[in-house]
Structure 1
Amino acid sequence: MSAPKSLRYHVGPGGALVGRLRVPGDKSISHRVVMLGALASGDSHATGFLQSEDTRATIAAFRAMGVVIDADGPGEVRIQGVGMHGLRAATRPLDLGNSGTSARLLCGLLAGQDFASDLTGDRSLTRRPMLRVVEPLRTMGARIDTSDAGTLPLHIDGSPLHGIDYRLPVASAQLKSCLLLAGLYADGETVIHEHTTTRDHTERMLAACGWPLRRNDSGSLHIRAGGELQPFDLEVPADISSAAFYLVGASLAPGSDVLLESVGINPTRAAVIDILKMMGADIVVDNRRELAGEPVADLHVRYAPLQGVSIPEALVPIAIDEFPAILVAAAIAEGTTELRGAAELRVKESDRIQTVADGLATLGIDTQVLEDGLIVHGGRLNGGHINSHGDHRIAMAFAMAALVAAGPVEIDDCANVATSFPGFVDAARGLGLDIREVH
């Protein structure tokens, strides 16, 4: 499913980013398009869809469960929904590749079916923790077996579920969404309390599909079974997590001037803009509008000198996927940047706190690793050889670091960039980054 692990980036030093770009569609929304479209009562259609390895894993899983999905056009997907109870048992384990979103959300969706399912994934995914979703599902009546380490592979015996009143122990949109999807099949009401706001794409798409979902004044979510999902026709916004690399790259490199088109600026996702502006970035949010019930805008970013900041912990969950890029920006900012409250970074595709710290050290930047974050002392970047540990966001972040490095930056193990940003190298080269693939 993935490109060879030996894929490496060679990025020449210097240059600037100039031009306009629409980055690929939002990965989180694209996953949900497939999942809710499959359960809808009728045919759904989406343009701007992210066709990446992660979303292809979700598509393959639903095809294996009997859903007809046409995803052959560029950025386009058509789904023949089978209704809430139309999925069928797959004849083989569902291989979700590197996609943690697919694995965790499917746990909730499959727990209440009337058939058994097996979930597996690649080496990276089978190391990621699953008990955070499995344990609350078990309190709903789910029968799920994990590995001894609490990871994939999983065996899910579909069973009747009942609603629970649950307070999220961590700020996790994947956990919240998993329980909301289980709540679609649970007897009684499922109530979810989150102490910190996390991305709300599942709630927005459920509402767009006509499912009654209530959020009270305290922020608690209430959902019941017994509804019907209406089919949809929508355009997926461009992914702010993919845009973040260009926001950072253009902020770093003198002479840069980039317009990023139709980027999703959902307030539960857009803290990367706020943090970079706190650091002094010149980012203009223009042409605000809505796509598929999601706020979008064009982002115009130009070079500006950056200053180190103490990142407010309230913004951390809203920028969790963008920190590899933000911390690269911190590496050349004047002064010190401090990130705390980000322990979730340790259980992503890599331990992103340690992986970023190791990469910055290779390029000559002094850091202090914290259990839940990182302190970065801004300085001058050398060239060097980075191990991305197969983490797509690490690879793309350090590619942008080369814009202000004294020498070339070599990045190993870049195949998984295709999980979120197919065409990254061509897009970056088109804006002026001196990057090439080495096999």
Structure 2
Amino acid sequence: MAPASSPALSSGPLFSRKTPSLHGALRVPGDKSISHRALMMGTFGVGRTVIFGLLEGEDILATAGAMRQLGARIEREATPSGDAVWFVEGVGVGALRTPETVLDMGNAGTGVRLVMGMLATHPIRATLTGDASLCKRPMGRVTEPLAQFGAEFQASEGNRLPLTVTGARSPVPLTYRLPVPSAQVKSAILLAALNTPGVTTVIEPIPTRDHTERMFAHFGVPVEIHQTPEGETAVSVTGQTELVGQTLTVPADPSSAAFPLVAALLTPRSHLLLEGVGINAHRTGLIDTLREMGADIRLLNERMDTGEPVADLEVRTSALTGIDVPASRAPSMIDEYPILAVAAACATGTTRMHGLGELRVKESDRLTGMADGLRACGVQVEVEGDTLIVHGTGRPPKGGARVPVMLDHRIGMSFLVLGMVSEEPVSIDEAAPIETSFPGFARLMNGIGANISDSP
């Protein structure tokens, strides 16, 4: 059956069928983590910030809406090539204004936690909320360190949204050691530090993605990174520095590239080129893991763009073997475990993925959701504490299940990839969450040979 027309693929159930092969060159949407930060830093900048390659998913549009309410003027223009360029006229550090209405962050978990950091050291009051999924996610690990600046928080039961922030009038710097690895918590603290006099330091026992530090440096914020005597990473920021608007390009999102990448590895006779993908060392855990499993992935044209390492990824069909994935790798690939589980289901032997506790507090309980969906598709799966164990047979599973995505875009995309190789079609109950991070996913995949439609 031919794929349905593009507009029909953005909501409702989707069905994915066996794909003969995938071929072509493509660029996935811009990096979500960097897109959030680009809008925020542009808001803190004086003058105009110009952003190319911004992800235009719902999460990022929610952050753009919040920045407008905090005083930034944000406009989008189409280029002659059909791409878009975004312009942000910032208000400067210390000049955020009180929003007129509640800041609705939709499903943007990164966005809401980083905005809380921005608000924490400005003497304004704001209420944040989100969709049903976001309002179930705990915020206590962010509010606890931000309160040490002097901010006050009134949260719903269980430290959840809706939540009201009253920013500190006289914020004080702090030194904070992350109890668990989290780039979101680290970044919220660093953003709060921008309007705090003196030096604020975040200590990381395990390094996490460093997009915030790189973007700070691009905007001229004094950042010092060093190792402590205990071998931990300390990131120090000097606050109350004036930022000047900059021009930047957002690389293609490695978390989004993971889906066509794994699809190409698993489908027969496939050869893809994924263009301009970010290869920040704190984001390449999936590539490292797949290579250990036997994947043919090559990095071409490696380069630096706006302070971030970028490359084109050449991917060919590969026979994969199960391995043990250490817990220490989780911070560099926490969003990629759902699609790694699909790869493991098609590999030869057992893959054990350790240290996945963080997956229980994502858009859904991803650990349980992936395990249940894989079992429904005929895969032998076990969950032992925070370890996901997938027993692969060296061939694609039966499939044939309809998987609930539970408002989680990554679960949805992972099972659509599984349907490309399984014996029977795999369907998901709702495509709409995919638009939050990968708008046009089904259309793009069909363009390189997939068969994803809205008809059974």
Q: TM-score, normalised by structure 2?
A: 0.93
Q: Per-residue displacement from partner, 1:369-418 (whole Å, max 9, x unpaired)?
A: 12212000013411211111111011111111112201111111221101
**Match for residue 181 of structure 1 among 188, 191, 202:** 191
Q: What's 2:239 paired with?
A: 225
**Match for residue 377 of structure 2 among 332, 345, 363:** 363
Q: Is the 8 A contact 1:117 1:155 kept in 2?
A: yes
Kindly provide the amino acid, as one letter, of the partner of residue 369 in structure 2: T
Question: Which aligned pairs between 1:29-44 and structure 2 lie closer than 5 A?
Answer: 29-44=34-49
The number of residues matched between the two structures is 437
Q: What's 1:11 paired with?
A: 16
- Structure 1 residue 280: Cα displacement: 0.6
Q: What's 1:407 paired with?
A: 424
**Match for residue 300 of structure 1 among 288, 299, 314:** 314
Q: Is the 8 A contact 2:326 2:355 kept in 1?
A: no
Q: What's 1:148 paired with?
A: 157
Kindly provide the amino acid, as one letter, of the partner of residue 284 in structure 1: R
Q: Aligned partners of 1:304 and 1:110: how far apart in 2?
A: 47
- Structure 1 residue 224: Cα displacement: 2.2
Kindly provide the amino acid, as one letter, of the partner of residue 274 in structure 1: D
Q: Is the 8 A contact 2:19 2:449 kept in 1?
A: no
Kindly provide the amino acid, as one letter, of the partner of residue 287 in structure 1: N
Between stretches 22-31 and 223-232, larger displacement belongs to 223-232
Q: Aligned partners of 1:438 and 1:316: how far apart in 2?
A: 36
Does the residue aligned with 1:353 lie in a helix, a strand or coil? helix
Does the residue aligned with 1:59 lie in a helix, a strand or coil? helix
Q: Aligned partners of 1:438 and 1:178: how far apart in 2?
A: 43
Does the residue aligned with 2:98 lie in a helix, a strand or coil? coil
Q: Aligned partners of 1:289 and 1:334: how far apart in 2?
A: 35
Q: What's 2:69 paired with?
A: 64
**Match for residue 182 of structure 2 among 143, 158, 172:** 172
Q: What's 2:4 paired with?
A: none
Q: Is the 8 A contact 1:17 1:256 kept in 2?
A: yes
Q: What's 2:300 paired with?
A: 286
Q: Is the 8 A contact 1:112 1:182 kept in 2?
A: yes
Q: Aligned partners of 1:384 and 1:226: how far apart in 2?
A: 54
Does the residue aligned with 2:276 lie in a helix, a strand or coil? strand
Q: Aligned partners of 2:301 and 2:187: how far apart in 1?
A: 30
Between stretches 417-426 and 183-192, larger displacement belongs to 183-192
* CA pair 24-6 structure 1, distance change in 2 beyond 3 A: closer
Q: Is the 8 A contact 1:162 1:186 kept in 2?
A: yes
Structure 1 moving runs of 4+ over 4 Å: 3-6
Q: Is the 8 A contact 1:7 1:438 kept in 2?
A: no
Q: What's 2:402 paired with?
A: 385
Q: Aligned partners of 2:250 and 2:9: how far apart in 1?
A: 29
- Taking only the aligned residue pairs, the percentage that are identical comes to 46
Q: Aligned partners of 2:144 and 2:65: how far apart in 1?
A: 26
- Structure 1 residue 433: Cα displacement: 0.7
Q: TM-score, normalised by structure 1?
A: 0.97
Q: Is the 8 A contact 1:50 1:75 kept in 2?
A: no
**Match for residue 104 of structure 2 among 90, 95, 100:** 95
Q: Per-residue displacement from partner, 1:228-260 (whole Å, max 9, x unpaired)?
A: 112111111100000000111011111111000
Q: What's 2:5 paired with?
A: none
Q: Is the 8 A contact 1:111 1:142 kept in 2?
A: yes
Question: Which aligned pairs between 1:29-428 and structure 2 lie closer than 5 A?
Answer: 29-73=34-78, 74-159=83-168, 160-218=170-228, 219-379=233-393, 380-382=396-398, 383-428=400-445
Q: Is the 8 A contact 2:92 2:243 kept in 1?
A: yes
Unmatched tracts of structure 1, length 5 or more: none
- Structure 1 residue 348: Cα displacement: 0.5
- Structure 1 residue 312: Cα displacement: 2.1
Kindly provide the amino acid, as one letter, of the partner of residue 19 in structure 2: G
RMSD, matched Cα: 1.5
